[in-house]
């Protein structure tokens, strides 16, 4: 098969993009990795949460959608924690002091961590918009992902079947 030079270049670029995309970020069906330390100093290792459904949410204090949704996340967390649901809020804020101040003012019960802490290691890749949400199933694999606003009803529709 004799392909033209522009077509060969296009095919090479598409192949390279696919390889790079899979190296840097998990997708549905992939094993998720997250090791971090919460703002209050508690270590979290996603591997130790196998058997639970975990929502890993990347957010920021400057994100109006995130700030509006967080009280709903708290209610969902409170309603489902006893069923095996966990929530880890991973902030992508640049200023850890601002994040800590915000977290202390809001008094959320779910774990909050700063992604840029040198103790954080994850397989979630570049986060290009907030909020970005990953639901990790009991097997430790990404079951669902979404970027942008999510209603409590949408979240329940994804999480409830995984908890049962």
The gap between the terminal CA atoms of the chain, to the nearest Å, is 52
Specify the DSSP element, H or E, that contains 125: none
Confidence check: pLDDT of 22 > 70: no
CB contact at 8 A, 68 and 37: no
CB contact at 8 A, 116 and 44: no
Measured distance CA(9)–CA(4) in Å, rounded: 9
pTM across the whole model = 0.83
All structural domains of the chain, each given as residue ranges with its CATH number in brackets, are 26-163 (3.40.30.10)
Say how many CA atoms lie within 13 Å of 110 toward its Cβ: 23
Q: Write out pLDDT tens, residues 38-95.
A: 999 999 999 999 999 999 999 999 999 999 999 999 999 999 999 999 999 999 999 9
């Amino acid at each position: 098969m004799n392909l033209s030079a522009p077509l060969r270049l296009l095919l090479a670029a598409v192949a390279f993009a696919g390889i790079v995309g899979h190296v840097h970020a998990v997708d549905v069906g992939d094993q998720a990795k997250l090791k971090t330390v919460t703002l209050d100093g508690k270590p979290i290792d996603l591997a130790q949460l196998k058997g639970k459904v975990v929502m890993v949410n990347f957010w920021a204090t400057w994100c109006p959608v995130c700030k509006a949704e967080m009280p709903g996340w708290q209610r969902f967390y409170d309603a489902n924690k006893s069923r095996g649901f966990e929530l880890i809020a991973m902030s992508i804020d640049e200023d850890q002091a601002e994040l800590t101040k915000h977290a202390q003012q809001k008094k959320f019960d779910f774990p909050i961590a700063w992604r840029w802490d040198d103790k954080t290691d994850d397989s979630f890749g570049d986060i290009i918009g907030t909020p970005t949400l990953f639901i990790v199933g009991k097997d430790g694999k990404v079951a669902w992902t979404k970027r942008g606003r999510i209603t409590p009803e949408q979240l329940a529709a994804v999480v409830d079947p995984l908890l049962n």
